[in-house]
């Protein structure tokens, strides 16, 4: 046997075979991923629309621009919901928090304007709304962890309290913000307006939020702890991790992004509306679960949530343009999509198990 010949029992790996196997493995994982499934459904809906009565309006520049804006506004607070869901919690207060933060912003801006001017009042109003929202998230985390109260009960109580306080704040009346175009620009403004690819300002804000949160969840220690708490809280605590700090982060992020969404929704409608955000917490949960978040904890991603928000808004836009009474079908759509996502997750987990 020459030096160039391998022993008869020696089986050497084929580099090309390994690369090919790795490629097909990654490709299979891509096709089986929740993100790919959501993209596929979005594509199917878009392919069907040219054969409906809304073929001329669905793909119009105006509708696509508005659709993009709606996706961004939903995705911002849905990302916060996803962080909480990954920890095996839930935040049902987001819809009411959006209304409450909008009212805080509007009242602060209108009250401070005579003293410090429009620009200062807008900055102070936005900062106050975000600060109050962050404190609400800290209260949620404290009650849930320190007192061992169920997240469902704590955030449901918060939903009721914040909605009530939104109504009390100005005797059930909205607070107009039409005199503050700089604030309205945050939600209604468009970059590169008049060009071939105009970009709504909320989309830019959402992109910044998504990138920051994706990096925190995937590249930072606190992100690893978030997934660890959702997978096994007891083991995480025994390993020396402060579970309380992790929950402070999760519920703080959720409330902060909910407050940010409240500011943007107030700017979008040109008023602080005490009735804003009704049932939006369910939209956030649906976007998160459709994007692959597991209500049992330990799973979820920012990319999946953005895609889930996109799917919901594409479907909402389709029914708005094709049905005579689309509002009556909104609950059916959200509930049906949410149920389908949960069933899909259950089937995937059984196959993996």
Q: What is the mean pLDDT of residues 35-56?
A: 84
Residue of 145, 152, 141, 39 lying closest to 90 (CA atoms): 152
Q: What is the mean pLDDT of residues 212-241?
A: 96
Helix (H) or strand (E) holding 261: helix 243-269
Residue 173 in domain = yes
* CA 34, 37, 43, 46 torsion-angle sign: negative
What does DSSP assign to residue 49? G
Token pair of 72, please? 């961004």
* For the chain, percent of residues with pLDDT exceeding 70: 90
What is the span of the domain harbouring residue 283?
57-352
Residue 50 in domain = no
Token pair of 249, please? 């982060």
Q: How many whole angstroms separate alpha carbon 136 and alpha carbon 157?
A: 12
Residue 15 pLDDT greater than 70, yes or no: no
Segment 121-131, tens digit of pLDDT = 999 999 999 99
Q: In this predicted structure, what is the pLDDT of residue 219?
A: 95
Q: How many whole angstroms separate alpha carbon 353 and alpha carbon 348?
A: 8
Domain total in the chain:
1
CA 244 to chain centre: 23
C-alpha to C-alpha distances, 113 to 118, 170, 235, 238, nearest whole angstrom: 5, 17, 52, 52
Q: How many whole angstroms separate alpha carbon 157 and alpha carbon 26?
A: 44
* CA 119, 124, 125, 126 torsion-angle sign: positive
Q: In this predicted structure, what is the pLDDT of residue 18?
A: 47
The mean pLDDT value of the chain amounts to 89
Segment 149-161, tens digit of pLDDT = 999 999 999 999 9
Q: In this predicted structure, what is the pLDDT of residue 353?
A: 62
Q: In this predicted structure, what is the pLDDT of residue 326?
A: 81
Q: How confident is the model at residue 328 (pLDDT cuts 50, 70, 90)?
A: confident
Segment 287-303, tens digit of pLDDT = 999 998 999 999 999 99
C-alpha to C-alpha distances, 72 to 40, 144, 222, nearest whole angstrom: 20, 29, 25
Q: How confident is the model at residue 196 (pLDDT cuts 50, 70, 90)?
A: confident
Residue 48 in domain = no
What does DSSP assign to residue 301? -
Q: 273, 263 in Cβ contact below 8 A? A: no
Residue 32 in domain = no
Residue 108 in domain = yes
Residue 25 in domain = no
Residue bearing the bigger pLDDT, 43 or 84? 84
Residue 264 pLDDT greater than 90, yes or no: yes
Q: In this predicted structure, what is the pLDDT of residue 105?
A: 97
Residue 287 in domain = yes
* Lowest-confidence segment of 15-29, 85-99, 242-256, 271-285 by average pLDDT: 15-29
Token pair of 239, please? 């390993």
Q: 86, 293 in Cβ contact below 8 A? A: yes
Residues in the chain: 353
Q: Name the pTM for this structure.
A: 0.89
Token pair of 54, please? 């809304």
Q: What is the mean pLDDT of residues 220-235?
A: 96
Q: How confident is the model at residue 5 (pLDDT cuts 50, 70, 90)?
A: very low
Query: CATH number of the domain that 259 lies in?
Result: 1.10.3470
* Lowest-confidence segment of 38-42, 164-168, 180-184, 300-304 by average pLDDT: 38-42
Residue 82 in domain = yes
Q: In this predicted structure, what is the pLDDT of residue 321?
A: 87
Residue 2 pLDDT greater than 50, yes or no: no
Residue 31 pLDDT greater than 70, yes or no: no
């Amino acid at each position: 046997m020459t030096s160039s010949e391998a022993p008869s029992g020696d089986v050497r790996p084929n580099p090309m075979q390994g690369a090919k196997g790795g490629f097909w493995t990654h490709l299979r994982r891509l096709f089986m991923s929740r993100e790919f499934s959501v993209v596929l459904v979005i594509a199917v809906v878009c392919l069907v629309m040219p054969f409906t009565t809304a073929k001329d309006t669905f793909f119009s520049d105006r509708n696509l621009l508005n659709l993009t804006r709606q996706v961004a506004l939903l995705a911002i607070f849905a990302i916060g919901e996803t962080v909480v869901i990954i920890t095996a919690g839930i935040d049902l207060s987001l819809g009411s928090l959006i209304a409450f933060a909008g009212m805080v912003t509007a009242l602060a801006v209108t009250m401070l304007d005579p003293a410090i001017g429009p620009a200062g009042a807008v900055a102070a109003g936005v900062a106050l709304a975000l600060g109050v929202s962050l404190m609400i998230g800290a209260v949620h985390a404290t009650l849930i962890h320190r007192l061992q109260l169920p997240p469902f009960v704590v955030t449901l109580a918060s939903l009721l309290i914040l909605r009530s306080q939104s109504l009390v704040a100005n005797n059930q009346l909205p607070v107009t913000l039409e005199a503050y175009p700089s604030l309205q620009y945050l939600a209604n403004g468009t970059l590169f307006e008049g060009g071939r690819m105009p970009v709504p300002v909320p989309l830019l804000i959402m992109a910044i939020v998504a990138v920051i949160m994706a990096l925190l969840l995937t590249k930072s220690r606190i992100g690893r702890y978030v997934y660890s708490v959702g997978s096994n809280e007891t083991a995480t605590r025994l390993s020396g991790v402060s579970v309380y700090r992790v929950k402070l982060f999760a519920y703080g992020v959720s409330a902060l992004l909910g407050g940010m969404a409240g500011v943007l929704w107030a700017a979008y409608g040109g008023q602080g509306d005490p009735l804003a955000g009704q049932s939006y917490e369910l939209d956030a949960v649906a976007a998160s679960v459709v994007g692959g978040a597991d209500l049992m904890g330990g799973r979820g991603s920012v990319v999946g949530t953005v895609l889930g928000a996109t799917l919901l808004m594409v479907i909402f836009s389709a029914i708005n343009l094709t049905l005579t009474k689309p509002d009556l079908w909104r609950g059916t759509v959200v509930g049906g999509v949410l149920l389908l996502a949960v069933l899909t997750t259950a089937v995937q987990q059984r196959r993996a198990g």
